[in-house]
């Protein structure tokens, strides 16, 4: 809700549910007149967590210095970013990923390293995934993360269709719950990709922190509620975008009706973020407090009331 003097208020959906699209006229204190109408700009909406049941999680509570739980996570290895022109080699070394103080640490290092592909590169990092260990169709996928920062740094929390070996990408589908490119420290992106809408043509939306805050300054929660024919993207419990098949390019198919697995990674360089420069500090690390996956007995394909803004005109009688 925006007041014309610049003050911004955030309300949960149920607080403004009685206000109709046609608007409402309220009189307060005999002289304050509020004229409200909904428009397309976002306003905060918090999901109702009581309808979801936790079905999988990792709280990263193992001893400091220990590796991740191998019953839940495996690793991708190698470099070149699967077509993204990234600069790092992904490893499973403790130097690039380990547990520390109840957190998962994924660390990008500047170092000369020769990977299993016999190619020597100047950066290393880690890419963890639950492929062949956990996948699910539909649900709420959420993580609490403090992301790194800097030109050329590219952290992500995302999902891939578990039929990727046969269907191949992008036919398997990809759901990017959170991506950030370091040169945009206040912005994260929620995107999905499929056949005919992949790469730079993915269906995307951005969320920007207010007042110049940076996502690297603190932990934030990132989530998607993915159900039949709808995805709802959240930051810190606030809905910022709802997507349905109506958002696809004309004639393209919705490929999000089968299980997906989870990926956490920090890339270095690539076509989208660009490469590190003299301002980029290493090492960089992404800290993950938890990853949790929820499910509800009867998935809903209702798009929910997306964030809407209530524009308020104020006049005070003399």
Catalytic residue set: 174, 179
Beta bridge partner(s), residue 227: 230
d(CA 237, CA 220): 9
The dihedral over CA atoms of 62, 66, 71, 77, expressed in degrees to the nearest 10, equals 140
d(CA 49, CA 245): 25
Q: Are strands 88-90 and 120-125 parallel, antiparallel or unpaired?
A: parallel
Coil, helix or strand for 167? helix
Cα 240 from chain centre? 11
Beta bridge partner(s), residue 2: 8, 311
Where helices occur in 55-193 by DSSP H, the ranges are 164-167
Nearest to 147 by CA among 205, 219, 209, 99: 219
205 phi/psi in degrees, rounded to 5: -145, 155
Look up tokens 């191998």; give the residue: 70
């Amino acid at each position: 809700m925006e007041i014309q003097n610049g003050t911004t208020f955030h309300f949960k959906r149920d607080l403004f549910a009685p206000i109709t699209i046609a608007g409402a006229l309220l009189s307060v204190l005999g002289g304050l007149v509020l004229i409200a109408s909904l428009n397309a700009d976002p306003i905060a909406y918090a999901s109702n967590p009581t309808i979801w049941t936790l079905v999988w999680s990792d709280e990263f509570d193992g001893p400091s210095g220990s590796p991740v739980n191998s019953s839940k996570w495996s690793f991708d290895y190698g470099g070149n970013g699967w077509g993204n022109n990234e600069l790092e080699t992904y490893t499973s070394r403790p130097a690039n990923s380990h547990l520390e103080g109840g957190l998962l640490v994924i660390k990008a290092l500047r170092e000369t390293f020769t990977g299993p592909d016999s190619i020597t590169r100047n950066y290393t990092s880690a890419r963890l995934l639950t492929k062949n260990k956990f996948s699910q169709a539909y649900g709420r996928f959420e993580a609490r993360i403090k992301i790194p920062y800097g030109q050329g740094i590219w952290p992500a929390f995302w999902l891939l269709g578990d039929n990727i070996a046969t269907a191949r990408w992008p036919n398997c589908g990809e759901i990017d719950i959170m991506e950030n490119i370091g040169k945009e420290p206040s912005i994260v992106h929620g995107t999905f990709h499929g056949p005919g809408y992949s790469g730079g043509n993915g269906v995307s939306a951005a969320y920007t922190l207010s007042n110049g805050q940076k996502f690297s300054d603190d932990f934030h929660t990132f989530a998607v509620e993915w159900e039949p024919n709808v995805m709802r993207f959240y930051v810190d419990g606030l809905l910022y975008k709802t997507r349905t098949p109506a958002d696809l390019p004309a004639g393209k198919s919705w490929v999000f009706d089968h299980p997906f697995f989870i990926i956490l990674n920090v890339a270095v360089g690539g076509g989208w973020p660009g490469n590190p420069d003299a301002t980029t500090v290493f090492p960089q690390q992404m800290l993950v407090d938890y990853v949790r996956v929820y499910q509800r007995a009867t998935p809903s394909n209702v798009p929910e009331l997306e964030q809407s803004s209530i524009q308020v005109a104020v006049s005070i009688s003399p």
